Structure 1
């Protein structure tokens, strides 16, 4: 089922990041000669170092992105398969040639790393293709379900009602009472046709139509009033504490809730059925519970909603209400519908995602950072990293010291790893800001620059001042703790201001 309850983090993305980092750290970096010039580095291991770090960042991005968990899982599986296949190829190759191929240890390490990174990247590309194809299949299946329901509604709910209307219209007599009764039947069936057309509008719309911010209390209240008007003996209670809470849905949400409430009343088997509606609000989602005192929902009917099991045949006892609910809530809104049945009644639980603060960034079907925001983050991270690197180079004379963290005192390695760090810390910033959007700062590049400056100060004290010296001590290099310097603080402030400004410009340009 669609997963508004899923985690923000897709751990499979970190599998990809780990493959890229291990292959790069323990082989490529160890094959780089510290004395290599920038040109030698670029023509040698620079490309694969960049690709390996890029793969690491890509995996982290997938882990925190708004991509569907199945998408990330597919890409991760193919990445592992690509890497494992290359391990097998290398193993068979080295066993087959034995000592016939005379390679130095550095060359052998570089060869292994390059092949593994190439295999992992090839697997990622294949996985993206496979995941995209699977997504298209799911969209086609959903479209086929909508067309199937459309066909059934037209035949059962429209054509049959038209035939009834035509039949009663032909029964015109001089009996006033009979005519009045016929007019009531005609009116009732005409109303049903009008309702069916509204339902068709709800499920047959543009393929790329997206949910919008919708008031929950309005939808629930409208649904309850609609049911009460048709079932005056029913008792429908509402418990909606927050009158302003909103979810990602549309104007047809009340229609879906009406079907659920009506279904509970029709199957209650009592003269005065009781239905209780409660709304629970969390940070990221809203849950609407519809509880009844009926005999419970049969498994074959519950499967229509929970397992998306649309019968291939027409079942006149099933109706179209739950199918409509599934098409709207699960497929269109990206929500969840769960049914908990027992002998004493049923609870239908509808869970929908809340929009971002002020509707700034809405993740329609999944949690996480939208891919386009991650793209803006990467660009901002690279731009800010270059600017900071130039400033740091001018002040201290070399970025090669960053390579020491990975065991290689080399300027090219220092630049690549510096830009890697810049993008990684940028991703962490994007996750925090996009998720919470404090005071609507995403709307303003200036506010983003100010927030980025503060983040740069934090990094200078925490990352550069504490984490870096601890890392150096761990690899056997003496370093004071904390390790703070005015040039370092200044360079991080520059990074934060540039990153925040470019990030804010990118977000505002998209909006």
Structure 2
């Protein structure tokens, strides 16, 4: 298994929000034809900013480190809000006897503005609903911890106490040295169990609750433990990771690997059970995969792993070992996955402690998103100033959305800067880590700036302007716009690069 990272992958569903916000801005500035500045700001500029902001938020959902379930919730509420507002507005207009044919422009503007309001309101409701769902899942995980502690205490501590009591009675009457040794072992077991309960109940999402643990020695000891318990089994180990690689975990990680390997041996139907253990690493994670030749993991277990859920104490058939591993994986900020195909391969993926939080991640963390948005706004301001100083004009960008206005031009220009800034930050994640950091940061920015100059400014924009009735040369490639785009790229790369360093520190 080729492990890259543990971050959330891109969520394409966010494109629905981005597209909806973008399309609804088409008629938001048509009130600019009126001389009343208040009507222009309230009826045109504010809805335009809200719609483009919604579109940028949709792009952020795509490239950001958001839970896919959270993104889908926001998308559903956003579309639902727009649909509900559409039905309400149409019914209101029809009920009032509004003649769409007499005032089509104003009707379209009002409708678009209301739909933007419904979409933004729906998206905000979706954010709230997504956070509530995440809190509910966290409560379920906390309940799982308590259930696991209950089961551990009953199965381990009470059994150990029973053995200790029986051996103590034998020792009292016979002075048996074997009984004394058994009491000592079981007493140590009780102490270990109590220590494990401390780790289970601790919230591992905060790195302060975890330690940097060398994973390879833990896996080797776990494999040797299973080999000693089941001498008839064949347990192989393939390590493609340096011994010094560390992960965020606690002492229970070794016990977790023991349970995975032991399950592979115990549930095999072969005369000589086979368990193949493989350790691989990426830039931000390490994976421990255990493959067996058994009948395959039951659907109940597969469902629990897929939902990252923990079975209740009463659900005895799910197995204690895999339940414990599932709980620990979540506490470590890692993951547990299973593949069933001529046997079962269960993979425990853990965060590397010797990598930065965003190293190798495809998706952007919330702080990185905020950083790139701020850097993009600043870079857009620099570019606009350069273009205007060179004799160009930002207001013409507003014509793409219905009004040749300086305020509309700047709002839409900054929106474009944010969207392409998010694209830049996402492209950085695809560059191999072997590339020099400075070359990567500035090279991607300059390359993207030149591409935008050639395609967006040179071809798309003049074609779009011609489509809305504004004369424009094709292609529209000038030295002034090239200089503006290059200034945008260099400014964006510099601010994002230094901001990223500050976040890492």
TM-score class, shorter: 0.7 to 0.9
Residue deviations 1:319-352, cap 9 Å, x none? 521111111225643423225376xxx4232153
Match of 1:71 in 2: 70
1:53 corresponds to 2:52: yes
Match of 2:15 in 1: 14
Match of 1:158 in 2: 157
- Using the TM superposition, name which of 397-406 and 330-339 deviates more: 330-339
Structure 1 residues 200 and 57: CA distance shift in structure 2, 3 A: same
Shift of 1:432: 1.4
Partners of 1:7 and 1:82 lie apart in 2 by: 26
Partners of 1:439 and 1:291 lie apart in 2 by: 31
Matches within 5 A, 1:23-62: 23-25=24-26, 27-33=27-33, 41-62=40-61
Q: For structure 1, list consecutive stretches of 5 or more residues without a partner in the other structure.
A: none
Matches within 5 A, 1:275-424: 275-279=275-279, 288-294=288-294, 297-298=297-298, 305-306=305-306, 308=309, 310-313=311-314, 315=316, 320-330=320-330, 332-338=332-338, 340=340, 346-350=343-347, 352=349, 358-359=355-356, 361=358, 368-424=363-419
Check conservation: 1:330, 1:337, Cα contact below 8 A: no
RMSD of equivalent CA atoms: 3.7
1:492 corresponds to 2:493: no
Shift of 1:41: 4.2
Matches within 5 A, 1:85-96: 85-96=84-95
Shift of 1:438: 4.7
Shift of 1:118: 0.6
TM-score normalised by L of structure 2: 0.85
- Using the TM superposition, name which of 376-385 and 329-338 deviates more: 329-338
- SS of 1:396's equivalent in the other structure is coil
1:504 corresponds to 2:497: yes
Matches within 5 A, 1:436-455: 436=431, 438=433, 448=441, 452-453=445-446, 455=448
Matches within 5 A, 1:100-139: 104-139=103-138
Structure 1 residues 115 and 269: CA distance shift in structure 2, 3 A: closer
Check conservation: 2:329, 2:350, Cα contact below 8 A: no
Structure 1 residues 102 and 303: CA distance shift in structure 2, 3 A: closer
Matches within 5 A, 1:473-488: 479-488=472-481
Residue deviations 1:45-81, cap 9 Å, x none? 1111111100100111112111101101111111111
TM-score normalised by L of structure 1: 0.84
Partners of 1:453 and 1:38 lie apart in 2 by: 39
Partners of 1:385 and 1:349 lie apart in 2 by: 48
